[in-house]
Amino acid sequence: LVKKAKKKFEEKLAKNIKQDSKSFFAYIREKKVIKDTVGPLKDEHGNVVTTDLETAELLNEYFASVFTLEKKGQLPEMQNVYRGEKDGELLCINISEVIVREKLSNLKPGKAPGPDKMYTTMLKETNSSQCSK
């Protein structure tokens, strides 16, 4: 009985993956039994590092040594990449209300919000008010 219910649930998840991919991947993530860990590491004396704090400090020392700290005055000058005619540069972008409405209506529900903290569901539902002038 439990095996049948589990199989039915998994089939339903697979069937609805286009509409609700979030639930599918949450289920897959839940079934993952491998834990991501770092280690064991050895310090500069060959001793095995055992605690999380020692591991963090060792990794911090390594990454600090391989990345350089550039001074602001020594940054290279940016070169102009555009090699065409001056009148061919992109100076103006025209975005129509129709294009914005179309893009908003094609958003997939259940996706994580972007840096603006706006959820796709909210954007889709307020599509008409967002596109008004």
What rounded mean pLDDT belongs to the chain? 81
The per-residue pLDDT for 22 is 85
- Rounded Cα distance between 113 and 87, Å, is 38
> 129: pLDDT confidence band, cut at 50, 70 and 90?
low
Quick one: pLDDT band at residue 130, thresholds 50, 70, 90? low
Residue 90 has pLDDT above 60, yes or no: yes
Residue 131 has pLDDT above 70, yes or no: no
Higher pLDDT: 93 or 132? It is: 93
What pLDDT score was predicted for residue 17? Answer: 84
Rounded-to-integer distance, Cα 13 and Cα 23, Å = 7
Is pLDDT above 70 for 100? yes
- For residues 38 and 21, give the distance between their C-alpha atoms in angstroms, rounded to a whole number: 30
How far from chain centre, in Å, is Cα 72?
29
Q: Which two tokens stand for residue 64?
A: 């600090």
For residue 73, is pLDDT > 60?
A: yes
